[in-house]
């Protein structure tokens, strides 16, 4: 097995006295793990940071063997880890991607979308510039894993008009008229998730309530549920930042 590709660093786990097992998302080959010799060294610690872009080379004698991975830094986002809100966003997005995606399965749309969110965070560390994009990334991840929400038509009437809610059970959209009397049982659907545009803060938090519901129910289950703690920290910091 031999693979050379650019990749986004997702997770780093120290291994032994000197090495590290690194998981990174490539554009065409999905999440790839590898053992980095000397991964705990002063030279490589700044390179092996979540959200950094590396040029990786994975080599293994068999498909069952953990590949040896050599890395070269292409672009560093390490400075963002010193800013509380951007750092929390990087932690959540990389942890979510690492926990949710199976290894060696291609997800080019997710790679492109994650790159876009990380670029947005880097360009404008204040959450106002990227919070809506993060919610859309979570929505795309659900869809790519087979848990996509049907937001195009009302699940009751079949109409695409005046969609305003999401069923927390089915993930289907519900029109305002069909929701009468049941509003408190449904999740408000912000318009930007369907139509695009820049959301305001109530819309951002409404969108995150929707994606968070289905991530917790369908994706981050069992041991992976621990990953949601990073999301809770991020949302708490976002709320404090806009209070």
Residue 118 and residue 24 share a domain: no
- Note whether 186 and 174 are within 8 A (CB): yes
Residue 110 and residue 38 share a domain: no
Residues 6+ apart with CB under 8 A from 176: 162, 163, 164, 165
* Residue owning tokens 């069923």: 167
Give residue 18's pLDDT. Answer: 85
Q: What is the pTM of this model?
A: 0.94
Residue 227 and residue 117 share a domain: yes
The one-digit pLDDT tens for each residue of the chain (243 residues) are 899 999 999 999 988 778 999 999 999 999 999 999 998 888 999 999 999 999 999 999 987 899 999 999 999 999 999 999 999 999 999 999 999 999 999 999 999 999 999 999 999 878 888 999 999 999 999 999 999 999 999 999 999 999 999 999 999 999 999 999 999 999 999 999 998 888 999 999 999 999 999 999 999 998 888 999 999 999 999 999 887
Residue 23: C-alpha distances to residues 1, 82, 169 (Å): 16, 22, 33
Residues 6+ apart with CB under 8 A from 147: 171, 214, 218, 219
Residue 107 and residue 50 share a domain: no
Residue 231 and residue 159 share a domain: yes
- Note whether 111 and 101 are within 8 A (CB): no
Q: List the strands of the sheet with 150-154, edge to edge.
A: 150-154, 172-175, 163-166, 187-188
Domain end point (choices 59, 76, 93): 76
Query: Phi, psi at residue 160, to the nearest 5°?
Result: -100, 5
- Note whether 68 and 35 are within 8 A (CB): yes
Q: What CATH number is associated with residue 58?
A: 2.40.50.140
Q: Which residues of 149-162 are buried (b: 16+ CB within 10 A; e: fewer)?
A: bebebbeeeeeeee
- The domain total for the chain is 2
Q: Provide the domain limits for residue 88.
A: 80-242
Burial class (CB in 10 A: 0-12, 13-18, 19+), 137: buried
Domain end point (choices 76, 98, 127): 76
Q: What CATH number is associated with residue 142?
A: 1.20.1440.120
Give residue 9's pLDDT. Answer: 98
Going along 156-226, which residue ranges are E strands? 163-166, 172-175, 187-188
Q: Could you tell me which residues are beta bridge partners of residue 9? A: 24
Give residue 40's pLDDT. Answer: 84
Domain end point (choices 44, 76, 108): 76
């Amino acid at each position: 097995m031999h693979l050379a590709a650019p990749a986004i660093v997702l997770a780093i786990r120290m291994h032994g006295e000197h090495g590290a097992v690194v998981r990174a998302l490539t554009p065409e080959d999905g999440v790839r793990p590898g053992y980095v010799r000397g991964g705990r060294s002063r030279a490589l610690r700044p390179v092996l940071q979540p959200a950094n872009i590396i040029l990786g080379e994975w080599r293994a004698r068999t498909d069952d063997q953990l590949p040896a991975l050599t890395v070269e830094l292409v672009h560093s986002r390490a400075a963002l880890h010193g800013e509380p809100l951007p750092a929390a966003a990087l932690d959540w997005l990389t942890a979510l991607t690492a926990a949710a995606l199976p290894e060696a399965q291609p997800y080019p749309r997710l790679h492109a979308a994650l790159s876009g969110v990380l670029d947005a965070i880097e360009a404008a560390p204040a959450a106002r510039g990227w919070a809506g994009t993060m919610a859309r990334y979570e929505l795309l991840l659900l869809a790519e894993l087979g848990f996509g929400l049907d937001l195009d038509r009302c699940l009751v009437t079949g109409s695409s008009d005046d969609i305003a809610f999401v069923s927390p059970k089915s993930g289907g959209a519900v029109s305002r008229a069909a929701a009468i009397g049941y509003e408190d049982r449904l999740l408000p659907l912000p318009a930007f998730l369907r139509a695009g545009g820049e959301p305001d803060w109530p819309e951002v938090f409404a969108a995150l309530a929707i994606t968070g519901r289905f991530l917790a129910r369908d994706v981050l289950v069992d041991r992976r549920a621990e990953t949601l703690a990073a999301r809770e920290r991020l949302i708490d910091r976002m709320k404090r930042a806009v209070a």
